[in-house]
Amino acid sequence: MKELLLQYAAYNAWANQRILDCITALPEASAHQALASSFPTLYATLLHIWDTESAWYQRVRLQEHVIRPGDSFTGTIQDLATSIRHQDQVISSWVQQASEAALLHVMKYHTSKREPVKQPVWQVLMHAFNHSSYHRGQLVTMLRQSGVERIPNTDFIAFTWLRKPRA
């Protein structure tokens, strides 16, 4: 199980890096352009990815009161990209050092609706990675709405192709 989580943590960081490289190559104003999606801008969607990855990491670390960094963040798109990259490194490092017992540990937390939940850490991590993937898909759609033509492939299978020689 740990090997899968390490691979997914690396994939998440790789995919985030690719989409961040695409977005940060655009003018700052493009990140704040209103577009149709779950969040109104590329910036707001990235802020949500960062907030959520951070919140799940804090929960995995058994932090009782989750702090969403985006609540007080006022940086540029470059600053936001740096923060997401850092969060990805922190999560990857934590998974690397985590024992099998830590990954199997059933943690308790409250949902955003204050509902109590018990869940193994490994499931929480898989959810966090999957959640970011979901919103990267939205970012791709938003980039297309903006007229961007060169959008990176962030599929998991593309990540694996880079890691292993194909037969």
What's the pLDDT tens digit per position in 95-135? 999 999 999 999 999 887 889 999 999 999 999 999 999 99
pLDDT of residue 65: 86
Assigned CATH for 2-68+75-163:
1.20.120.450
Annotated binding residue at 48?
yes
3-state secondary structure the chain: CHHHHHHHHHHHHHHHHHHHHHHHCCCHHHHCCCCCCCCCCHHHHHHHHHHHHHHHHHHHCCCCCCCCHHHCCCCCHHHHHHHHHHHHHHHHHHHHHCCHHHHHCEEEEECCCCCEEEEEHHHHHHHHHHHHHHHHHHHHHHHHHCCCCCCCCCCHHHHHHHHCCCC
Check whether 164 has a pLDDT greater than 80: no
Annotated binding residue at 131?
yes
Q: Where are the domains of the chain?
A: 2-68+75-163
Are 19 and 84 in contact by the 8 Å Cβ rule? The answer is: no
Annotated binding residue at 105?
no
| Rounded Cα distance, 20 and 85, in Å | 9
pLDDT of residue 143: 98
Amino acid at 70: G
Check whether 165 has a pLDDT greater than 80: no
Supply the pTM of this predicted model. 0.94
